Chains A and B, each alone.
Chain A
Amino acid sequence: MGSHVNIEATFDVVVVGAGHAGTEAAVAAARLGARVAIVTSALETIGQMSCNPAIGGVAKGTVVREVDALGGIMGRATDLATLQFRMLNRGKGPAVWAPRAQCDRGLYRRAVRSLLEEHATLATIQGTVARLLIDEGSVVGIETLEGRRFGASCVVLTTGTFLRGRIHIGTETKLAGGRAGEPPAVHLAEQLESLGLQVARFKTGTPPRIDGRSVDYSRLERQESEIEAFDYSWSHFWDSPRRAGETTRHPRQLPCWITFAGDEAKAVVRENIGRSAMYGGAIGSRGPRYCPSVEDKILRFPDAERHQIFLEPEGHDTHELYVNGLSTSLPVDVQLRMLHAVPGLESARMTRAGYAIEYDYYPPTQLDATLQLRALSGLFFAGQINGTTGYEEAAGQGVVAGYNAALRARGETPLILGRSSSYIGVLVDDLVTRGVDEPYRLFTSRSEFRLTVRQDNALRRLAPVALERGAFDEREARVVERRMTEEDRSRDLAERTSIRPEQAAPVLAAAGSAPLAHSMKVVEVAKRQGVSLLDLLRAAEIAELPAAEAAVTAELEIKYGGYFERERAQAEKMQRLDAFPLGGGIPYGEMRSLSMEARQKLLALTPATLAQASRIPGVSPSDLQNLVLEIERRRARASG
């Protein structure tokens, strides 16, 4: 058939889209040795941050480190582009420290592109994908609007908000667009729908941006960067650790500014609520509850006195500021009046208007746990196309899709990260098992393993997986090894080293902890709340101190090991259920001891294991028991 004629080149994996999901998918596949092409409408927008210029945050920061531990690029690019850094939850102890970096958008984009180009087997191609080439129920390639055709064993779609994207500003203005100023993808959307896939719409929004030179900073609270010896990535500088106080890895740091929407701004919104695209009826789709538009905030929480606004720098090359907290779909005149009602922004010039965007997503319960579409083999989905929101969530899915596309092309067993291994594992499992009813974002509360799945131990959790699949070269493997060894050495030093009362005194006093009566092992003293292991080792005059980050991981194990054990026991329980394979071909429809709802859900989702089945809403514990019995009985019959 026509599918095979005029093929310009053939790849193992073709990635469509070069945002945070697409770039990670391409890099992951390339790391596994696949021949990869990444196809995007404009090469200049590779790694574009469409919304807030921040990477990380609670749970999300951990995902960045997981992506990094699996060989991804988000952490590296962020380290090179950070212009403002904060460690969130610092007061709540290292167990929930959450790094977040504001980035220079331009630097970030350029870093991503050059990190892609580090891989010789990764081709970047400009083009708008018009359709998939399909042969006998499998994807075999893609064709662009320009008429270029590429063959592929696997295709990863990371279309973000581009599929039939529609931008709303007020009730009057509707623009077709995948992002402000860029056209939507329509042909591909129509083909996907014609394949019989279930499709739905979500909306998300973005705030206006302003010219920093028009802001009255005297009325704003200044928030300095907490730049410190923190790197998202283990990789690029680990073998030449930074000297103390040295921050040259990042560009010069810039402050953020805090103001608020008070009564005046609230009144502007309330008076014009009927002109909002969301409240005026122009948008019917569902948006997220946790990143609400200013309209949502004011209507749903009328008692809140004020809503915080963060003014975030867009980059070193511009005065433009991102007005974080004022996401809106009000018409431009109202946006401007609202801005002017905010302290410090009385005469602000709006550089870009905020908008809401509606786009197609494909309910992710149509995917298996490798993010491959069940209905069409070789086709993988990652990022917002699966109904998620957030750069980090997109990147995490990109890595999973990239690994699995490459592994499929190689004919190897797929990679499925468990819930107890990572937030990425939780994310993928939630998506394919439970589906989404609002744009999905990660929270620590989504994980059963909040204590053992942390940002500081991502490498220990996931690097073995990456190494096993051959994602790292020898040099990288040695660096990983060093990082792990350093962690073990910290623990070892703590157990072997004694500290005298006078040595420990200043460290303990600083933590408000009682002095020692006699010499003790450091490991015992480090159990105390607020007492840092590294400080103790330094006070005990250890010649070669372990690296700070490795010492934190060791310290947490010392302090909270007992609690960690509880989670590990829980993880083991879950793994026992995971060891009960289900897979395809099970006649759930005939299992009359299962509830009708359970039968339908199991048929639709074909969970890979009993553990996954246990998490499907509508499958009760008794359904599970009966399921085990039904399967046992069938097995007994088949073998007897």
Chain B
Amino acid sequence: MAGDATRPAPTSAVAALGALRGGSDTIAAIATPPGRGALAIVRLSGADAEQVASRVVAGWPTPARVATLAILRDPATGEVLDEAIVTRFEGGRSFTGEPMVELSTHGGVVTSALVLGALLAAGARQAAPGEFTRRAVASGKLTLTQGEAIGDVIDATSRAAQRVALATLDGGLARRVVALRDALLEVEALIAYEIDFPEEDDGPIAPARVSESVARVASMLDALLATAPAGELVREGAVVVLAGPPNAGKSSLFNALLGQARALVTPIPGTTRDAIEAVVDGRSWPLRLVDTAGLRETADSLERLGIEVSERYLERAQVVLACAEHAAGLAATCAWISRLTGAPVIEVATKRDRPEAEPVASGSAALEVSAETGAGLDALLARIEDTLATALGAPSFDAPVVTRARHLVALRAAREELAAFATAWSAAALPAPVMAVHLRSAVGALEELIGVVDTEDVLDRVFRSFCVGK
């Protein structure tokens, strides 16, 4: 188009809009996990979802929002693929906000894959991971924090993570951030009143009134920020490192603990030299168990590499299981660990089923376990949980928790701006309108989290609180 050459390139604007951009072509994907099951769900969403579906679903259109039995055919060959329950959602009344179709096919890998293939042949595109949710956010059906929480629900590795994710989905975090923003706007309104209405009945604002309001917001922010470590634990799991000399039975214990917990979720493969991780479902926290290479002084550079990996894990451990067969081994291991971390250490005397096992000295805190017989495993798991609870406190599921790096960054930015404002205010070091830049930046950081911006809000507060105008 000739006219386009004279227009400024829109790319900068696209860049300014940032990472949230989603497409609006029509996407399709299998929504249920792969594997055997009675049913599989294939989803289709986008402006042309109806058109795509009409090429595959016999008797289209089905009534909106009514589950309807229908024959699915390959659009090219006309071959019958399955008999499925089809539900049609109109734009604006679906999960993504776009026209959507959900097809409940018979289970198994093959049928659902055939149906998906048919939809792609009919004009849809394979959805990228998380794209349905992204569209729901883009259409305003979900707030950004809610959208992220859905991602967390899908990724949730334990009951604890799922509960926190669900609480966020309720808008708990969004509500807290909105409340914080409101409180900050109140302070901004005080400053705005000072600047915009210098001759009013109420006279100047007492400096203490601003300081107190700021202190109140700061403590609210701190309370929310304080949940960040817990949030990370909930998402990542508490790191529980098994450490000890080579052949102390760590790997057997690791496997036995996984078996005992009966909730293996994500085994992460590794070589014997590297650490092996697995997340199991703990009572309050997910536990990220890490089996590490044996600790000993060695000249072997290859083995040394493995030990360095172990040490790095120890540095970020929330709990360490010091494992050894003998008292001497336990002592050496504890000494080694204490050089690297202050995390609580649980001493574990391993291989207690062996006849040659030396009895644990009376007064020793070491727990006796046998990976072979399963003896002591329950007690060990309980001890891990208790130790975590003592060190970290119990997670609180009714209060929202900061679980995302993005939230943390924004909240910290807001906190820093607020601190800068408070410092300047108490020293009266800058004119109020200059200091107010910090307040605005703090509000801006929060607004980026919840996606609202409106300077009118400040004025509304001024007019509500003060009698202004001559």
Contact = CB atoms under 8 A, between A and B. Distances in A.
B13 A576 contact: yes
B433 A95 contact: yes
Nearest to B3: A638
Interface string A578-605: 0111000000000011011000000000
Given A307-B201, A566-B441, A592-B98, A625 B430 contact: no
Interface string B1-16: 1001001101011111
Nearest to B188: A445
Contacts of B456: 434
A593 B24 contact: yes
Interface stretch (A394-402, A464-472, A626-634): A626-634
Given A450-B433, A563-B437, A581-B8, A96 B463 contact: no
Nearest to A290: B469
Contact of A622 (B20, B195, B196, B467): B20
A573 B12 CA distance: 10
> Which among A92, A310, A630 has the greatest number of chain B C-beta atoms within 10 A?
A92
Interface in B353-377: none
A288 interface: yes
A445 B22 CA distance: 34
B462 A445 contact: yes
A625 B10 contact: no
Interface stretch (B76-84, B124-132, B134-142, B292-300): B134-142
B195 A625 contact: no
Interface in B156-204: 188, 192, 194-202
Nearest to B430: A529
Nearest to A529: B429
B451 A621 contact: yes
Given A443-B192, A622-B138, A635-B1, A291 B469 contact: yes
B135 to A, nearest CB: 8
B210 interface: no
Interface string A299-333: 01100101111100000000000001100000000
Interface in B7-58: 7-8, 10, 12-17, 20-24, 47
Contacts of A639: 1, 4
Interface residues of B, number: 58
Contact of B198 (A89, A292, A622): A89
Interface string A501-523: 00000000000000000000000
Contacts, number: 165
A497 interface: no
A527 to B, nearest CB: 11
Nearest to B20: A625
A440 to B, nearest CB: 11
A304 B98 CA distance: 53
Contact of B20 (A310, A576, A621): A621
A632 B10 contact: yes
Contacts of A592: 24, 47, 91, 98-99
A307 B467 contact: yes
Interface in B443-470: 451, 454-456, 458-459, 462-463, 467-470
B381 interface: no
Given A96-B433, A301-B467, A580-B8, A628 B14 contact: yes
Contact of A95 (B17, B99, B431): B431
A446 interface: yes
Interface in B197-232: 197-202
A227 to B, nearest CB: 18
Given A59-B196, A593-B139, A632-B10, A297 B467 contact: yes
Most chain A Cβ neighbours within 10 Å, of B14, B47, B195, B470: B470
A292 B1 contact: no
Contacts of B17: 624-625, 628
A92 B10 contact: no
A96 B435 CA distance: 12
Interface string B78-118: 00000000000001100000110000000000000000000
B140 A623 contact: yes
A610 B13 contact: yes
Given A88-B198, A291-B469, A577-B16, A595 B22 contact: no
Contacts of A310: 470
A69 to B, nearest CB: 21
B391 interface: no
B434 interface: yes
Interface in A429-451: 434, 443-448, 450-451
Contact of B4 (A52, A306, A635): A635
Contacts of B459: 443, 445-446
A593 B138 contact: yes
A93 B14 contact: no
Central interface residue in B201, B451, B462, by most chain A CB within 10 Å: B201
B436 interface: yes
A98 interface: yes
Given A88-B199, A292-B469, A622-B138, 4 more contacts: A308-B201, A446-B455, A567-B437, A622-B140
* 6 pairs of A and B residues whose beta carbons are closest in the complex: A93-B431, A580-B13, A291-B469, A301-B467, A445-B192, A593-B24
30 contacts: A59-B196, A92-B432, A96-B195, A98-B198, A289-B463, A290-B463, A290-B468, A290-B469, A291-B470, A304-B201, A304-B467, A324-B470, A443-B459, A445-B195, A445-B459, A529-B429, A576-B16, A579-B13, A580-B8, A592-B24, A592-B47, A593-B24, A620-B140, A622-B140, A626-B139, A628-B14, A632-B10, A635-B4, A635-B10, A639-B1
Interface of A: 52, 58-59, 88-89, 92-93, 95-96, 98, 288-292, 297, 300-301, 304, 306-310, 324-325, 434, 443-448, 450-451, 529, 560, 563, 566-567, 573, 576-577, 579-581, 592-593, 595-596, 610, 617, 620-626, 628-633, 635, 638-639
